[in-house]
């Protein structure tokens, strides 16, 4: 149980284009999902917290107009990197909280590697 998927796992795009990353909870309902960014050999940096049906809460320093988050259902959240630039190249990870069981535990997706050329 508590499986989270992400799609795509790998994406290369041209500078100036937009990229959408999907995060799905496969076997549970996730009222809250989280989006992280991880640079090589570093820890995870929380970008935003996403609650189903409401606006995401962004961490300080994260541009909400650049990183659009939508949590339209209890099993799906999306992160759209708009007008991507090479400095947006990173590893993006989502996690979801299973409210029915151990509600304080976050389960992570496998991550998405984004390379902006």
Partner 1 sequence: AQTVTQSQPEMSVQEAETVTLSCTYDTSESDYYLFWYKQPPSRQMILVIRQEAYKQQNATENRFSVNFQKAAKSFSLKISDSQLGDAAMYFCAYRSHSTQGGSEKLVFGKGTKLTVNP
Question: Applying CB under 8 A, which residues contact partner 1?
Answer: 32, 34, 38, 42-44, 46, 49, 57, 91, 93, 95, 97, 102, 104-108, 110-111
Please, what is the minimum distance in Å from the beta carbon of residue 83 to partner 1?
26
Minimal distance, residue 103 CB to partner 1, in Å: 8
Q: Which residues contact 43 (CB under 8 A, 6 or more apart)?
A: none
Give the H/E segment covering residue 26: none
- Of residues 43 and 87, the one with the C-beta less far from partner 1: 43
Closer to partner 1 by Cβ: residue 4 or 19: 4
Structure tokens at 3: 């499986």
Q: How far apart are CA 51 and CA 35, in angstroms?
A: 11
**Shortest CB 45 distance to partner 1, Å:** 9
**17 vs 101 by CB, closer to partner 1:** 101
User: Least distance in Å: CB of 80 to partner 1?
Assistant: 21
Considering the complex, state which of residue 46 and residue 76 has its C-beta at the smaller distance from partner 1.
46
Task: Specify burial of residue 49 (Cβ count, 10 A radius: 0-12, 13-18, 19+).
Answer: middle
φ and ψ of 14, to 5 deg: -85, 150
């Amino acid at each position: 149980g508590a499986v989270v998927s992400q799609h795509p796992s790998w994406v290369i795009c041209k500078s100036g284009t937009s990229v959408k990353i999907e995060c799905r909870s496969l076997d549970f309902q996730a009222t809250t999902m989280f989006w992280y960014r991880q640079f090589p050999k570093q820890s995870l940096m929380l970008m935003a917290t996403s609650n189903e049906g409401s606006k995401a809460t962004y961490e300080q320093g994260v541009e909400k107009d650049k990183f659009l988050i939508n949590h339209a259902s209890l099993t799906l959240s999306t992160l759209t990197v708009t007008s991507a630039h090479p400095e947006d190249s990173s590893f993006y990870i989502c996690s979801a909280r299973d409210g029915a069981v151990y509600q304080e535990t976050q389960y992570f997706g496998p991550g998405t590697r984004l390379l902006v050329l």
